[in-house]
C-alpha cells in the first residue's frame, strides 16, 4: 500500500483512497490527476482485491486510454486492465455483446464522415438533389442537430421499423431536410451502420428497454471513474447515470477552466452541479501544480482570472523560480517564425534537445511560415495530429495542378485528374496506364491521344485536357500567385472544398497563395512557375535530421492533456487566437480557456509571439487580447511594445466586444427552443448560425423565418 501512496500529496492520497460513493475531484492543470487516476485503479486492484474487469475508466481520447492501460499494467502486473475506453468505445463493447436487443448483427459498421458523405451521395442522386440544396457539411450538421434536439427519438424508427417502412418514410418525404434525414436513416439501417450519436443512443435504448441487460452491466461495473468530466455532454451524462445506478461508486475528475469543447455539446454544469445531483458527494481540490514554474503559472492565473463565469481559484506552484514568460511582437509572419527559429537554435546550443520544444497554434494554417523557416534553418520538426503544411492534401493537390501546367508528369496526373470528380475512375486509369506503357508516353499524353475513344464518352476528360492546355499556353509571364488562384477556380477545386464545407482546407489554400505572393516579391528575379516549383520541391523534403530529436508542432486542442519543457505559442493575434469565428461572450470565455490550456502545457519556458501585417481579408492584425490580459508586469518583451499599437488593439477589442450580446450563457439558444422577441413576439429557433452569430427563428405571427443576430435580445419562453 505504501508504494502506491508514496510521493502523493494530501489531496492526491484522498483521491486514491476515497473508493466508495460519489467523489468529485477539481483538479487544476498539472496537478497530477492522471497519476491519481492510475494509482486509484491500482489501489482498487492491488489493495482492495477488485477484479480489473469490474472497473470502468472513461477517458476522452483513444490515446489517453492507451497510455492509461500501459501505466496500469505496469502497476498491477495484470494483463486485464479493465474497461479503459472512451464513451463511444465503451458503447461499441456494449453493442457487440448485446446487439441482439436491437436486431443488429455483432458486425455492425461504425460510420465516419467519409461513410456518411458516401450515403449522402446516394441520396442526392436518387432524389435529384444538388449541393445547392444543401452541402454535405451542412447535411451532416443538420442530421446531428435533428438526432440530438428535433427528433431525439429517431433511433426508435431505426430499431423498430422494418427496412421497407423506413424506405417508405424516405420516399414520402418532400422537404430537403426530411429527404436527407430519412434517407440517411434508411441507408444506415440498410448496411447496419451506426454513427457516434447512434452508439450512445442505442446503448441507452438497450438499458432502458431491457432491465436484465441493464442490471448485468450495472452489476459488472463495480467502480466507475471518468476523466475530463468538464467535457461531458448530455448523452454521456445520461449513460453515466444509468451505469452507476447499482453500486453507486462514481469517481469524476475535471477542471472547469479547461472546458474547451462546448461546441461539441460539453456542459460544465455537470461538473459544477455534481454535488447537487448526487447528495453526499465528497469534493477534493487538487490545486498544487507540479508541471510549470511560478512565472508560467502567474501568467496563466492572470489570464483565466479575466473570465467571469468560473470558480475562482489559483494554481499553487511547487517548482522553483524559472525564466520569465517571453513575448515577441514581429513585423510579419515570416519575421515571427524567424525569431522563433533563432530562439530554438540558441536553446539548442545551450543544451536543450529539439524534442523538448513544442510549437502550439490555434489553427493548422498558421504553420506555413513556421515550417518554411524551420526547413530553411534545418531545424527538424514533426506535426502532431496534423500533416506538415506542404504535405497536406489540399496543398499537394494545388501544387500538382501547377506541376501539370509545366511538367504534365504522371504523379501529378494520378493525383488530380479525377479531383474534382471527372469520372476518370480505376477502369479508365488502367486503360491509360496500359496505353502509356505500350507507347512510352505520359498518362496525360495517353489521355490526349484517346480523348475520342468511346471509353471517355460521358466523362469530363476533355474539359480537363482543355484546362491544362489553356493554362500551359497562357501562363508564361503571369505571376505564379495569379496562375494558382486562376487554376484553383477554373478546375472547380475550391468550389469542391466549399461544397464540402472544408473551411480549414480553404484557409490553408489562402495561406499558400499568400506564401507564393511573398516568394514572388522577395526572390529578387523574375519568378517563373519552374522557379517556384523548384523552391517548393526543397520545402517538401522533410528529411532534415535523424529520427527522434524533432521540434513538435500541434494545435492547442491536440495538446490538451500533454506537457512540454518549452512551448512557443505563436499566432497570438486577434482573429487567429481568439478565432475570428467567436461571436458571443461565452464563446470568448471558451477561447480564453483554450489559451489557458495552451499556457499550462509549458513546464520550464514559455514564449508568446504575434505578427503585425494583414489578415487574409486585408484587415490589419492586432495583438491578441489574451496577451493584454496577462499584463506587462508578468511578461518579458523582446522590445518595448509600441504604445500606438497597444492602444489601437485595445480600441479594436473594445469595438468588437461592444457588439457581443449582453446575455452570457443564454446568448445562444438550442434548436427547438421557444423564444420571445421584443417586436416579433414568440417563435421557435430553427437553426444556430455560429459563423454569422445569429439564430434562425420562425416567429408564430410571421409567414417566413428571420435571422436574428446574437446581439439582439431574445428571452426564453
Question: What is the 3-class SS of 156-173, one letter each residue?
Answer: HHHHHCCHHHHHHHHHHC
Question: What are the cell numbers at 267?
Answer: 456542459
- Which sequence positions are flagged as catalytic? 33-34, 227-228, 258, 601
- Residue found by looking up cell 484587415 in the block: 619
Q: How far apart are CA 69 and CA 77, in angstroms?
A: 11
**Strand bridging mode 109-110 / 674-677:** unpaired
Are the beta carbons of 332 and 46 closer than 8 angstroms?
A: no
Residue 191's pLDDT is 84
Residue 467's pLDDT is 96
Are the beta carbons of 599 and 291 closer than 8 angstroms?
A: no
| Predicted TM-score of the model (pTM) | 0.76
The mean predicted confidence, pLDDT, of the chain is 89
As a whole number of angstroms, the longest Cα–Cα distance in the chain is 82
For residues 99-123, average pLDDT: 85
Here the contacts of 529-538 (C-beta below 8 Å, separation 24 or greater) are 529/402, 529/405, 529/406, 529/475, 529/480, 529/483, 530/406, 532/402, 532/480, 533/399, 533/402, 533/403, 533/406, 533/407, 536/390, 536/399, 538/375
Selection from 530, 611, 100, 22 nearest residue 277 by Cα: 22
Total count of residues recorded for the chain: 717
Q: What is the DSSP letter of 386?
A: S
Residue 80's pLDDT is 73
Q: Is the pLDDT of residue 525 over 70?
A: no
Q: How far apart are CA 464 and CA 452, in angstroms?
A: 14
Here the contacts of 106-111 (C-beta below 8 Å, separation 24 or greater) are 107/192, 108/192, 108/193, 108/194, 109/191, 109/192, 109/193, 109/194, 110/193, 110/194, 110/195, 110/199, 111/188, 111/193, 111/194, 111/195
Are the beta carbons of 441 and 404 closer than 8 angstroms?
A: no
Residue 541's pLDDT is 43
Q: Note the pLDDT tens digit of each residue in 48-75.
A: 999 999 999 998 877 777 788 888 888 8
Chain centre distance of CA 44:
35
Residues 607, 613, 616, CA angle at the centre, nearest 5°? Answer: 105
Report the interhelical angle of 480-490 vs 393-406 (nearest 10°).
Answer: 110
| C-alpha to C-alpha distances, 240 to 199, 489, 702, nearest whole angstrom | 14, 49, 42
Question: What are the cell numbers at 212?
Answer: 436484465
Could you give the count of Cα atoms lying within 13 Å of 580 in the half-sphere of its Cβ?
15
Residue 205's pLDDT is 97
Backbone dihedral angles phi then psi of residue 667, each to the nearest 5 degrees:
-65, -35
Backbone dihedral angles phi then psi of residue 626, each to the nearest 5 degrees:
-70, -30
Backbone dihedral angles phi then psi of residue 95, each to the nearest 5 degrees:
-70, -35
Q: Note the pLDDT tens digit of each residue in 20-50.
A: 999 999 999 999 988 899 999 999 999 999 9
Q: Is the pLDDT of residue 659 over 80?
A: no
Q: Mean pLDDT: which of 262-276, 283-297, 387-401, 675-689 is highest?
A: 283-297
Question: What is the 3-class SS of 90-118, one letter each residue?
Answer: HHHHHHHHHHHHHCCCCCCEECCHHHHHH
Radius of gyration of the chain (CA): 28
Residue 501's pLDDT is 84
For residues 498-505, average pLDDT: 87
Q: Note the pLDDT tens digit of each residue in 210-231.
A: 999 999 999 999 999 999 999 9
**Strand bridging mode 681-689 / 674-677:** antiparallel
pLDDT: is 349 or 514 the higher one?
A: 349
**Strand bridging mode 694-699 / 681-689:** antiparallel
Q: How far apart are CA 600 and CA 292, in angstroms?
A: 7
Are the beta carbons of 133 and 190 closer than 8 angstroms?
A: no
Q: Note the pLDDT tens digit of each residue in 155-173.
A: 999 999 999 999 999 999 9
Q: How far apart are CA 276 and CA 679, in angstroms?
A: 38
pLDDT: is 481 or 246 the higher one?
A: 246
Q: Is the pLDDT of residue 690 over 80?
A: no
Q: How far apart are CA 112 and CA 117, in angstroms?
A: 9
Residue 694's pLDDT is 84
Residues 225, 227, 229, CA angle at the centre, nearest 5°? Answer: 105
CA dihedral 627, 631, 304, 663 (to 10 degrees): -80
Quick one: what percent of the chain has pLDDT higher than 70? Answer: 95
DSSP letters spanning 535-598? HHHHHT----S-SS--EEEEEHHHHTT--EEEEEE---BTBTTTBTT--SHHHHHHHHHHHHHH
Residue 542's pLDDT is 39
Amino acid at each position: 500500500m505504501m508504494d502506491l501512496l508514496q510521493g502523493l500529496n494530501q489531496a492526491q492520497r484522498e483521491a486514491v483512497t476515497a473508493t466508495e460513493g460519489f467523489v468529485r475531484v477539481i483538479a487544476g492543470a498539472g496537478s497530477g490527476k492522471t497519476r491519481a487516476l492510475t494509482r486509484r485503479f491500482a489501489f482498487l486492484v492491488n489493495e482492495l482485491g477488485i477484479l480489473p474487469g469490474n472497473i470502468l475508466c472513461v477517458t476522452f481520447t483513444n490515446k489517453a486510454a492507451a497510455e492509461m492501460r500501459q501505466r496500469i499494467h505496469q502497476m498491477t502486473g495484470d494483463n486485464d486492465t479493465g474497461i479503459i475506453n472512451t464513451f463511444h468505445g465503451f458503447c461499441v463493447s456494449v453493442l457487440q455483446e448485446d446487439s441482439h436487443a436491437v436486431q443488429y448483427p455483432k458486425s455492425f459498421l461504425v460510420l465516419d464522415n467519409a461513410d456518411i458523405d458516401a450515403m449522402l451521395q446516394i441520396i442526392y442522386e436518387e432524389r435529384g438533389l444538388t449541393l445547392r440544396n444543401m452541402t454535405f457539411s451542412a447535411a451532416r450538421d443538420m442530421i446531428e442537430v435533428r438526432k440530438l434536439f428535433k427528433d431525439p427519438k429517431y433511433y426508435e424508427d431505426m430499431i423498430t421499423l422494418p427496412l421497407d417502412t423506413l424506405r417508405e418514410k424516405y420516399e414520402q418525404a418532400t422537404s430537403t431536410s426530411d429527404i436527407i434525414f430519412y434517407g440517411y436513416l434508411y441507408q444506415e439501417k440498410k448496411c447496419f451502420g451506426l454513427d457516434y450519436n447512434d452508439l450512445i443512443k442505442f446503448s441507452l435504448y438497450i438499458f432502458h428497454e431491457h432491465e436484465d441487460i441493464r442490471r448485468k452491466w450495472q452489476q459488472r461495473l463495480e467502480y466507475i471513474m471518468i476523466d475530463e468530466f468538464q467535457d461531458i455532454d448530455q448523452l454521456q451524462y445520461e449513460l453515466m447515470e444509468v451505469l452507476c445506478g447499482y453500486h453507486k461508486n462514481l469517481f469524476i475528475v475535471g477542471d472547469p477552466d479547461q472546458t474547451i469543447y462546448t461546441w461539441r455539446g460539453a456542459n460544465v454544469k455537470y461538473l459544477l452541479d455534481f454535488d447537487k445531483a448526487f447528495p453526499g458527494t465528497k469534493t477534493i481540490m487538487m490545486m498544487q501544480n507540479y508541471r510549470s514554474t511560478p512565472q508560467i503559472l502567474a501568467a496563466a492565473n492572470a489570464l483565466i482570472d479575466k473570465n467571469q463565469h468560473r470558480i475562482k481559484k489559483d494554481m499553487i506552484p511547487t517548482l522553483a523560480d524559472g525564466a520569465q514568460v517571453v513575448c515577441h511582437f514581429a513585423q510579419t509572419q515570416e519575421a515571427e517564425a524567424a525569431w522563433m527559429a533563432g530562439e530554438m537554435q540558441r536553446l539548442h546550443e545551450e543544451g536543450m534537445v529539439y524534442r523538448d520544444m513544442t510549437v502550439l497554434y490555434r489553427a493548422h494554417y498558421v504553420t506555413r511560415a513556421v515550417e518554411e523557416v524551420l526547413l530553411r534553418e534545418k531545424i527538424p520538426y514533426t506535426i502532431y495530429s496534423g500533416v506538415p503544411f506542404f504535405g497536406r492534401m489540399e496543398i499537394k493537390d494545388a501544387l500538382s495542378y501547377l506541376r501539370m501546367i509545366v511538367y504534365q508528369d504522371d504523379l501529378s496526373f494520378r493525383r488530380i485528374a479525377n479531383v474534382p470528380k471527372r469520372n476518370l475512375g480505376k477502369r479508365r486509369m488502367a486503360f491509360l496506364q496500359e496505353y502509356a506503357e505500350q507507347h512510352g508516353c505520359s498518362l496525360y499524353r495517353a489521355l490526349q491521344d484517346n480523348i475520342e475513344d468511346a471509353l471517355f464518352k460521358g466523362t469530363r476528360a476533355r474539359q480537363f485536357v482543355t484546362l491544362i492546355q489553356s493554362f500551359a499556353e497562357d501562363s508564361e509571364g503571369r505571376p505564379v500567385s495569379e496562375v494558382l488562384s486562376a487554376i484553383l477556380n477554373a478546375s472547380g477545386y475550391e468550389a469542391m472544398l466549399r461544397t464540402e464545407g472544408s473551411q480549414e482546407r480553404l484557409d490553408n489554400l489562402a495561406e499558400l497563395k499568400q506564401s507564393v505572393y511573398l516568394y514572388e516579391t522577395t526572390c529578387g528575379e523574375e519568378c517563373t512557375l519552374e522557379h517556384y516549383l523548384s523552391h517548393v520541391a526543397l520545402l517538401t523534403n522533410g528529411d532534415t535530421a535523424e529520427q527522434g530529436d524533432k521540434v513538435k508542432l500541434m494545435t492547442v486542442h491536440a495538446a490538451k492533456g500533454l506537457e512540454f519543457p518549452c512551448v512557443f505559442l505563436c499566432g497570438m493575434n486577434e482573429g487567429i487566437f481568439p478565432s475570428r469565428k467567436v461571436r458571443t461572450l461565452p464563446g470568448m470565455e471558451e477561447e480564453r480557456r483554450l489559451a489557458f490550456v495552451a499556457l499550462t502545457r509549458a513546464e520550464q519556458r514559455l514564449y508568446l509571439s504575434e505578427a503585425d501585417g494583414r489578415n487574409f481579408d486585408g484587415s490589419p492584425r492586432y495583438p491578441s487580447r489574451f496577451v493584454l490580459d496577462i499584463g506587462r508586469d508578468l511578461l518579458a518583451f523582446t522590445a518595448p511594445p509600441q504604445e500606438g499599437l497597444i492602444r489601437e488593439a485595445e480600441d479594436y477589442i473594445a469595438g468588437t466586444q461592444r457588439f457581443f450580446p449582453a446575455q452570457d450563457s443564454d446568448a445562444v439558444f438550442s434548436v427547438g427552443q421557444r423564444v420571445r422577441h421584443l417586436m416579433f413576439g414568440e417563435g421557435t429557433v430553427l437553426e444556430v448560425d455560429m459563423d454569422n452569430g445569429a439564430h434562425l427563428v420562425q416567429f408564430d405571427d410571421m409567414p417566413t423565418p428571420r435571422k436574428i443576430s446574437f446581439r439582439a435580445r431574445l428571452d426564453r419562453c
